[in-house]
Amino acid sequence: NAGVMQNPRHLVRRRGQEARLRCSPMKGHSHVYWYRQLPEEGLKFMVYLQKENIIDESGMPKERFSAEFPKEGPSILRIQQVVRGDSAAYFCASSEGHSNQPQHFGDGTRLSIL
Amino acid sequence: LAKTTQPISMDSYEGQEVNITCSHNNIATNDYITWYQQFPSQGPRFIIQGYKTKVTNEVASLFIPADRKSSTLSLPRVSLSDTAVYYCLVAIQTGANNLFFGTGTRLTVIP
């Protein structure tokens, strides 16, 4: 009974490169959420997706950031032209349903920008 | 925007019961209250969720008064491995999942 799987666990990029973060939800879960966490802070919501649809992207920066959750395969959080300020831990969560269903989190991808 | 307020930190000795209270004055009628635990370099782990009165599972109890403007997570007989950050969350809007994580409560269990 695998949990939420994120890869890579650590990712190093130089300024201006692209970062791709992957998230495979728990089996049977069709709702995926992405959060960002800076050191000593709580998680900040970025985007909520269902299969092939973005439901809520109110927490995601309008530029350089995009997310998808295709019919087949993992959810992808993509950051183009990374800057130093993008350095953070990015967590993915999944849930079975919607509205008040508990979200189950992966162990995150730690992105470092050189 | 519904938010939660928790103590920033708490210390407790091993074997004691720990109660962490969270205020959520703007909780909506259909919102549930959920608590998560987070260890360093790991994702948050779901602990317990409730709507009203009392909920108990194998690791914790959750007490919610009738007005639902606050809740208390109770951890019985804590051990050193319970040292972590504990987050209290409520759904901000019915029909959305924009969970708001505050800074949480950093619990340190002392031998």
- Give contacts of A111 with chain B, Cβ < 8 Å: none
| Two tokens, residue B97 | 């999942």
Q: Measured between alpha carbons, how far is B21 from A106 in angstroms, rounded to an integer?
A: 26
Confidence of residue B97 (pLDDT cuts 50, 70, 90): low
DSSP SS3 for A84: helix
Q: Each residue of A57-91: pLDDT tens digit?
A: 989 999 999 999 999 999 999 999 999 999 999 99
Measured in degrees and rounded to the nearest 5, phi and psi for residue A85 equal -70, -10
- Give contacts of B45 with chain A, Cβ < 8 Å: 105
Q: What does the pLDDT read at residue B94?
A: 39
Mark yes or no for CB contact A48/B98 under 8 Å.
Answer: yes
Cβ neighbourhood burial of B47 (10 Å; 0-12, 13-18, 19+): buried
Q: Each residue of B73-92: pLDDT tens digit?
A: 999 999 999 999 999 988 75
Q: What does the pLDDT read at residue A81?
A: 98
Q: How close is the nearest chain B Cα to the Cα of A72, in Å?
A: 23
